[in-house]
Structure 1
């Protein structure tokens, strides 16, 4: 029997964890599998180990593990696989296939455009749009967020689109705000490329508040991505491509 294991990041903020669980519950409704469990890499329960145990105890003979992460980085490449390898050794007779994170696609850019539109503030010719990623030391994160920024730039040909990061990569969000302060743009849109709320979202708001008190520029903070049907579609695609063998990372 095939099980699906959804692996979320986890947060110290209970509201973020609740949003993740609500999101996964919607994703589960779209799949026919009788065995489906969610878990968290860190900071929240159930752990990957606990949820994996639950899948096996319910009769799973094959587990499809899906990292519910926006981009491919250290968590997806190393941290999660290390735990899955340990579980594969615990249950050697249970097949394990590991899928891909959500990744870069036009679907994700559609959501970014929606987040801009729902502010009800028109993106003008001299507007500056900051696409804010979590950040990582992994160069693939900069590559992927840069690709997303390029795709968004194509949708907004008369505006500037710049990517920046909250941690571990440059330019930092603080540096981007400083650049925005001295730019010719009178309005600055800020799109948090985050799945859910959390401490990083609060950090973004605090940084905006600090610069708004100094300048007369208009800063417009968009919503984080949150649950969106197109993200649900992307998760479903990741499940199906593993199930159909289009992308399979096996554990021996």
Structure 2
């Protein structure tokens, strides 16, 4: 029997955990698999090991582990695979298959574009976009964010798209805001490339409040959140892995 285990990041913020849970419930309704469970990498329960154990207890013989993560970094490359390795030793008869994070995907570009279009301020030749990522020491994170920025610039025809990071990578948030403030663009659309609310969003909001006295117009867009289009990516990834088992 097949199962899907959705792996979300986790947060101490109750609203963030609730957002993740609600998103996974919507995904479950779109995928025809008898066993579907949610777990978290950190800061929330159940953890990955428990999530796998629950699937096995419900009769799963093949578990598709789907990371609900934006980019490939430490969690996707190390933490989740290690948890799976440990689970495989406990459940040697169970086939555990690891999917990939959302990554550089056209639908992700569409979601960012939606967040920008939601604003009452229109994009024009005086506008630029500043994408703010969570950050990681993994070089793939910077590479993927740069690719997303290029695709976004092409898709929405904005003159400039910069990237910066909240932690563990450069340019930092402070660097990104400084460069934007020095630019010739009057309107800076700030897009938090984050899945959920929490401390990082508060950090961005605080930094922007400190810039309110400058001659620029700073437009803070909503974080990506669990946008409905993300459900299509999850369904696409799940179905691809489910079809593998059927020999398609």
Shorter-chain TM-score range: over 0.9
Q: Find the aligned partners of 1:110 and 1:167 in 2 and give their Cα distance.
A: 25
Q: CA RMSD in A?
A: 1.2
Aligned twin of 1:175: 175
Aligned twin of 1:228: 227
Deviation string, structure 1 residues 153-193 (Cα, Å, up to 9, x no partner): 11233421111111111111111111122221111100111
Q: By how many angstroms is 1:216 displaced? A: 2.5
Q: Find the aligned partners of 2:19 and 2:177 in 1 and give their Cα distance.
A: 28
Q: Secondary structure at the match of 2:244?
A: coil
- Farther-moved stretch of structure 1 (235-244 vs 8-17): 235-244
State whether residues 104 and 147 of structure 2, in contact with CA within 8 Å, keep that contact through their aligned partners in structure 1: yes
Q: Find the aligned partners of 1:219 and 1:180 in 2 and give their Cα distance.
A: 10
Q: Does 1:32 align with 2:26?
A: no
State whether residues 128 and 187 of structure 2, in contact with CA within 8 Å, keep that contact through their aligned partners in structure 1: yes
Q: Find the aligned partners of 2:225 and 2:139 in 1 and give their Cα distance.
A: 25
Equivalenced residues, count = 245
Aligned twin of 1:249: none
- Farther-moved stretch of structure 1 (169-178 vs 155-164): 155-164
Q: Find the aligned partners of 1:108 and 1:234 in 2 and give their Cα distance.
A: 9
Q: Secondary structure at the match of 1:245?
A: helix
Gaps of 5+ in 2: none
Q: Find the aligned partners of 2:130 and 2:224 in 1 and give their Cα distance.
A: 14
Q: Secondary structure at the match of 1:212?
A: coil
Q: Secondary structure at the match of 1:33?
A: coil
Q: Find the aligned partners of 1:211 and 1:2 in 2 and give their Cα distance.
A: 52
State whether residues 164 and 176 of structure 1, in contact with CA within 8 Å, keep that contact through their aligned partners in structure 2: yes
Q: Find the aligned partners of 1:180 and 1:150 in 2 and give their Cα distance.
A: 17
Q: Does 1:240 align with 2:208?
A: no
Q: Does 1:59 align with 2:59?
A: yes
State whether residues 116 and 221 of structure 2, in contact with CA within 8 Å, keep that contact through their aligned partners in structure 1: yes
State whether residues 3 and 60 of structure 1, in contact with CA within 8 Å, keep that contact through their aligned partners in structure 2: yes
Gaps of 5+ in 1: 247-252
Q: By how many angstroms is 1:241 displaced? A: 2.0
Q: Secondary structure at the match of 1:211?
A: coil
State whether residues 113 and 156 of structure 2, in contact with CA within 8 Å, keep that contact through their aligned partners in structure 1: no
Q: By how many angstroms is 1:229 displaced? A: 2.3
